[in-house]
Amino acid sequence: MHSGYVMNCFKSIKFSRRLYCSLKAAQKIGEYDVAIVGGGIIGTSTARELLLAYPKLRVVLLEKEKELGLHQTANNSGVIHAGIYYKPGSLKAKLCVQGSKLTMDHCDKKKIPYKKVGKLIVATDEEEVKYLKVLYERGLSNGVQGLEFIDTQEKIHEREPECRGLKAIWSPNTAIVDYKHLAKSHADDFHDGGGEIRLRAKVAKIEESGRSDFPVRVVDSKDHTLVAKYVLTCAGLYSDKISMLTGCPRNPRIVPFRGEYLLLKPSKRKMVKCNIYPVPNPKLPFLGVHFTPRMDGNVWLGPNAVLAFQREGYSYFDINPLELIDALTYSGFITLCLKNLRYGMGEMLRSIIWPLQVKQLQKYLPSITSEDCERGPAGVRAQALAPDGSLLEDFYFDKSKMGNLKDRVLHCRNCPSPGATSSMAIAKMLVEKMGKEFGLEKIHEEIKTKLKQ
């Protein structure tokens, strides 16, 4: 009896060891209902929203950097846009207006600092005045609240004493925020809700796993593997390359454009109280210089738009030869350059000789001088370009084209400005889309039932 008891204990220990080893193996591989690739403002917003809608799902967020939100999230202008510039009926217009309210409501709830500094869109000649009126009507059509059309220089001075212009649009509900702080708040909510965050997890493969229960395998550059039922990618500057891992076409291709800012010196910051923006020139690919107060008290001036020599290249010394050749030989980029050769050369010159950029700023603030400014930070814009050189302006999403992954993987291929403003609205839209197309409600109910048993 004693020996039988010992033998049973030994068998129990062996079984426990096998069970422990199998659990450790499963833990190492990781099995998830949804894996999200990309820890910027879109990825963290969507991860948070996913667990708010389906709190029992097993969700993992993968980020290749050592911390979240290091690139476009941390290096944009920090403006919560109201939704004036965007074509009525477009996703940009709809999601910007919704996202602006959601973001400020979230900041209020979480006590995240932000400021409603407002925005002046200023016309400096009669041609710009014509388009300014179009913008005003567009803003009203988009449901932007509180817009005011300012028709005299004196009224412009009431809002911004140093600013010069013929007419302007005043948007009182345009605000500023630190988007990296906001992304961290979303990530904290996601983690507190049971989500897992993996840093330094650069995705190298998204492929079929061969399993019926978890059909998608995600492998990072260190050969760490996980399996999932569904995958969402929000890869920003690498969104096209990540999409290609699942058979999506290369185009529209991401071409990185660096935007370099100047800073107002501390003694001159009082010159600017609100956001001062130009009337966009429809003949040019980018918006042009503007004045942006920041949450830390700085005032950013710019940006310009020059080709970055790598996708995360924040200076002329950041060079990836393969990524640079990829951009320079792309037909879309070549066509864009040929169409805007003079403009592009001017941007390059102003990048190298930055006091020339001050001349553009003097169009709106005549009193500003080079002595008032200094070189500031830079960001990189993930610009999606079609082969004909046209900029993909609206948000764009794509699904895998490969085998059994066709209904399993969804890609955010283009989320340009106002992507950060729209992030919480984009997240709601994506979660609703995934809920319907991926059948997340059914999975969620099955998990709840198993937990009850």
**pLDDT tens-place string over residues 179-189:** 999 999 999 99
Q: Return the sign of the alpha-carbon dihedral for residues 99, 100, 105, 106.
A: positive
pLDDT (0 to 100) of residue 145? 96
pLDDT (0 to 100) of residue 14? 41
Q: Tell which phi-psi region holds residue 227, choosing left (phi > 0), alpha (psi between -120 and 50) or beta.
A: beta
Strand partners, 253: 385
What per-residue string of b and e applies to 240-268 under the rule 16 or more CB within 10 Å gives b? bbbbbbbebeebbbbbbbbbbbbbbeeeb
In-domain check, residue 333: yes
For residues 267 and 372, membership in a common domain is answered with yes
For residues 264 and 210, membership in a common domain is answered with no
For residues 424 and 301, membership in a common domain is answered with no
Cα-Cα-Cα-Cα torsion 267, 270, 271, 272, nearest 10 degrees, comes to 130
Domain holding 60, by residue range, is 31-70+181-251+396-452
Where among 391, 419, 437 does a domain terminate? 391
- Do 62 and 220 contact (CB within 8 A), yes or no? yes
C-alpha pair distances (Å), 205 with each of 33, 219, 220, 224: 18, 5, 7, 10
For residues 265 and 376, membership in a common domain is answered with yes
Where among 361, 391, 421 does a domain terminate? 391
Contacts of 31 (CB under 8 A, 6+ apart): 58, 213, 214, 226, 227, 228
For residues 376 and 438, membership in a common domain is answered with no
In-domain check, residue 439: yes
For residues 38 and 63, membership in a common domain is answered with yes
pTM: 0.91
In-domain check, residue 434: yes
In-domain check, residue 109: no
pLDDT (0 to 100) of residue 220? 95
For residues 292 and 411, membership in a common domain is answered with no
Contacts of 365 (CB under 8 A, 6+ apart): 162, 163, 164, 271, 272, 276, 291
Q: Which residue in the list 81, 106, 186, 290 is annotated as catalytic?
A: 81
The reply to whether 81 belongs to the active site is yes
In-domain check, residue 166: no
For residues 299 and 375, membership in a common domain is answered with yes
* Amino acid sitting at position 29: I
For residues 381 and 415, membership in a common domain is answered with no
Q: Tell which phi-psi region holds residue 260, choosing left (phi > 0), alpha (psi between -120 and 50) or beta.
A: beta
For residues 347 and 217, membership in a common domain is answered with no
In-domain check, residue 205: yes
* Amino acid sitting at position 101: K
For residues 370 and 267, membership in a common domain is answered with yes
Rounded to an integer, what distance in angstroms lies between the CA atom of residue 346 and that of residue 97? Answer: 34
Low-confidence ranges of the chain (pLDDT < 50): 1-3, 5-27
Q: In terms of DSSP bridges, do strands 31-37 and 225-233 run parallel, antiparallel, or are they unpaired?
A: parallel
Total structural domains within the chain = 2
pLDDT (0 to 100) of residue 450? 84
In-domain check, residue 300: yes
CATH code assigned at 414: 3.50.50.60
Where among 391, 409, 428 does a domain terminate? 391
Rounded to an integer, what distance in angstroms lies between the CA atom of residue 194 and that of residue 37? Answer: 17
For residues 267 and 382, membership in a common domain is answered with yes
| Token duo for residue 405 | 């992954």
In-domain check, residue 22: no
